[in-house]
């Protein structure tokens, strides 16, 4: 135990500069969150009814997320505290991640690793994918803590391998139990766990210069146990996991086309979430395998783990047959960071082409910087969106209160028709959900933006009932028949029978 403690202290002393670089990129990407008081879609429902959100999460097999929010008192949402805890946890799991691979890295590479280990965390955490994920304030602490637990669980398995008898048993039990809890936080943490195991297996095969079947078998058995216990607990508690239902049973072989389209989007670097770094990672991992083959140090384990790593961004999509939300694709930036890190280390240890290692370091810094700028702009854009939404809600309420028929003591149903997207300057970015107004999101669906927009207005103290589908459809017929003007004109707000207030936000409804 004392030896392990000394090892950790020694590691931290040698890693001051790399930890400093990691924290710099963390603040570059997420610093805006520390001065922001805005919240995103879904948080408005959580603020209004924490218990309803908890019930929904349990149905999605996220019982551990409920436990975390209760234990950490993230019931009444305090935005600064939520963001502060999240950023602290990102810093912690970034350091843990570097330490985990320090334990597995071959001895001959350790000196180089300590100099460039920041490559993995800065590429991983700055990805715009995490802007989308951590913008959900009701679960951002839980997700960050889940990634931390993922890494700690795998660290415990490492230490279990290094000891014997009852200590080995205790470490394995704690490691497995922690992973079970992690899986109960968020389903996307499961493929992240798998890819971290794949990376440790890759390094184990290089270290031992064989396929390390015993190591792989041990991790597979433990993973099966973890999944089994997680599903049993979820079933007992009342989860049904409909959120990630399989598309294969619904769409059949059509899912192959969906998978192909996503693969094409990634390779073509479509959208702000993907960039050329995945292609660079593919070239590097291919180069590593060719290099090891040339040196006659290749084995089946290295080939299998390489394939697993390359496919890791698409695990969820392959299993379910449908394109998952960008915010669930943690493996994308993780595996890019890991492969580029290993590539840099190998090149730095090669005398003839050592300079290529320095080029890769510069490229990795460029990738992280570009991602951090996009991530920061997404957070900034969503903050601007929140301010515009607040201003719009206040204007609507002011005009309603100015009406002769308005009585503050009566209850009204508010029906919003059409949409009002944010109209900010050219710096404004829209992501998958970020940047979309409460008065815009879902406007083409069953009752338009009304459930979210009404819940948002309630957070500002404007308490209205949301409409039923029938009331919403009748309101659309009414404004068409009476040719109601669009907001902000005074005539855009009308009251009809049963104390229903209609606000036409735009011509398109």
Please write the tens of the pLDDT for every residue from 430-451.
888 898 999 998 888 888 899 8
User: According to the model, what pLDDT value does residue 242 have?
Assistant: 55
pLDDT-derived band at 259 (thresholds 50, 70, 90) equals: confident
Percent of the chain whose predicted confidence (pLDDT) is above 70: 97
Burial pattern 393-414, b for ≥16 Cβ within 10 A else e, equals beebbebbeeeeeeeeeeebbb
pLDDT-derived band at 170 (thresholds 50, 70, 90) equals: very high
pLDDT: is 102 or 249 the higher one?
Answer: 102
Q: Dig out the tokens for 238 from the structure.
A: 């009342």
User: What mean pLDDT is predicted for residues 388-406?
Assistant: 93
| Alpha carbon distance 59, 41 (integer Å) | 20
Least confident residue range of 26-35, 144-153, 264-273: 264-273
Q: In whole angstroms, how far apart are CA 330 and each of 36, 147, 187, 199, 499?
A: 24, 10, 11, 14, 47
Beta-ladder partners of 503: 416, 493
The string of DSSP codes covering 251-263 is HTTHHHHHHHHHH
User: According to the model, what pLDDT value does residue 110 have?
Assistant: 94
User: What mean pLDDT is predicted for residues 130-141?
Assistant: 93
Least confident residue range of 100-114, 116-130, 418-432, 482-496: 418-432
Mean pLDDT estimate for the chain: 91
Q: In whole angstroms, how far apart are CA 432 and each of 60, 130, 337, 446, 460?
A: 21, 11, 23, 20, 25
Half-sphere exposure of 346 (CA within 13 A, CB side): 17
pLDDT-derived band at 247 (thresholds 50, 70, 90) equals: low
Helix (H, G, I), strand (E, B) or coil at 494: strand
User: According to the model, what pLDDT value does residue 1 have?
Assistant: 66
User: According to the model, what pLDDT value does residue 23 have?
Assistant: 97
Tracing tokens 């300057």 back to the chain, one arrives at: 425
Residue 325: DSSP 8-state: P
User: According to the model, what pLDDT value does residue 443 have?
Assistant: 84
List the end-to-end C-alpha distance of the chain, in Å, as a whole number.
66
User: According to the model, what pLDDT value does residue 41 have?
Assistant: 85
Percent of the chain whose predicted confidence (pLDDT) is above 90: 67
Question: 244 pLDDT exceeds 60?
Answer: no
Q: Dig out the tokens for 182 from the structure.
A: 């992690």
User: According to the model, what pLDDT value does residue 411 have?
Assistant: 93
Report for 157-166, 258-267, 322-331: range of highest mean pLDDT? 157-166
Q: What is the CA radius of gyration of the chain?
A: 26
User: According to the model, what pLDDT value does residue 31 have?
Assistant: 95
Question: 248 pLDDT exceeds 80?
Answer: no
User: What mean pLDDT is predicted for residues 398-426?
Assistant: 88
User: According to the model, what pLDDT value does residue 64 have?
Assistant: 95
Question: 421 pLDDT exceeds 60?
Answer: yes
User: What mean pLDDT is predicted for residues 46-69?
Assistant: 90
């Amino acid at each position: 135990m004392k030896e392990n403690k000394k090892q950790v202290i020694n590691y931290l002393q040698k890693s001051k500069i790399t930890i400093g670089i990691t924290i710099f990129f963390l603040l570059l990407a997420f610093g805006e969150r520390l001065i922001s008081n805005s919240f995103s879609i879904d948080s408005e429902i959580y603020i209004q009814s924490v218990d309803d959100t908890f019930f929904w999460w349990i149905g999605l097999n996220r019982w551990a997320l409920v436990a975390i929010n209760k234990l950490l008192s993230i019931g009444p949402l305090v935005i600064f505290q939520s963001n502060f805890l999240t950023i602290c946890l990102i810093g912690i799991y970034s350091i843990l991640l570097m330490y985990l691979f320090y334990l597995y890295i071959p001895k001959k590479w350790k000196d180089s690793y300590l100099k460039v280990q920041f490559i993995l965390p800065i590429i991983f955490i700055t990805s715009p994918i995490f802007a989308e994920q951590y913008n959900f304030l009701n679960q951002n602490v839980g997700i960050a803590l889940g990634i931390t637990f993922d890494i700690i669980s795998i660290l415990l398995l490492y230490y279990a391998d290094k000891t014997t008898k009852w200590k080995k048993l205790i470490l394995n039990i704690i490691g497995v139990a922690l992973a079970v809890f992690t899986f109960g936080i968020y389903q996307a943490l499961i493929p992240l766990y798998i890819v971290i195991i794949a990376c440790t297996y890759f390094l184990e095969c290089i270290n031992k210069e064989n396929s390390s079947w015993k190591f792989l078998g041990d991790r597979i058995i433990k993973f099966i146990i973890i999944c089994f216990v997680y599903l049993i607990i979820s079933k007992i508690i009342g989860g049904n996991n409909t959120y990630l239902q399989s598309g294969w049973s619904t769409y059949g072989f059509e899912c192959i086309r969906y998978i192909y389209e996503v693969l094409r989007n990634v390779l073509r670097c479509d959208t702000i979430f993907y960039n050329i770094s995945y292609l660079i990672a593919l070239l590097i991992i291919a180069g590593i395998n060719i290099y090891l083959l040339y040196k006659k140090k290749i084995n089946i384990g290295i080939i299998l783990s390489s394939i697993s790593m390359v496919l890791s961004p698409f695990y969820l999509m392959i299993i379910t047959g449908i394109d998952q939300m960008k915010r669930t694709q943690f493996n994308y930036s993780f595996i890019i960071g890991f492969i580029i890190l290993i590539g840099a280390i190998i090149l730095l240890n090669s005398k003839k082409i050592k300079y290529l290692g320095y080029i890769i370091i510069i490229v990795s810094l460029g990738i992280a910087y570009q991602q951090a700028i996009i991530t920061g702009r997404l957070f900034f854009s969503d903050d601007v969106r929140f301010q515009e939404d607040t201003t719009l809600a206040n204007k609507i309420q002011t005009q309603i209160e100015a009406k002769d028929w308005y009585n503050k003591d009566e209850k009204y149903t508010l029906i919003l028709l059409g949409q009002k997207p944010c109209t900010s300057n050219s710096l404004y970015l829209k992501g998958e959900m970020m940047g979309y107004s409460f008065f815009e999101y879902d406007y083409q669906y069953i009752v338009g933006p009304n459930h979210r927009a009404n819940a948002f207005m309630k957070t500002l103290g404007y308490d209205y009932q949301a409409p039923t589908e029938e009331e919403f459809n009748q309101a659309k017929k009414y404004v068409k028949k009476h040719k109601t003007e669009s907001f902000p004109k005074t005539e855009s707000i009308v009251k009809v029978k049963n104390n229903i207030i209609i606000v036409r936000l735009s011509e398109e409804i």
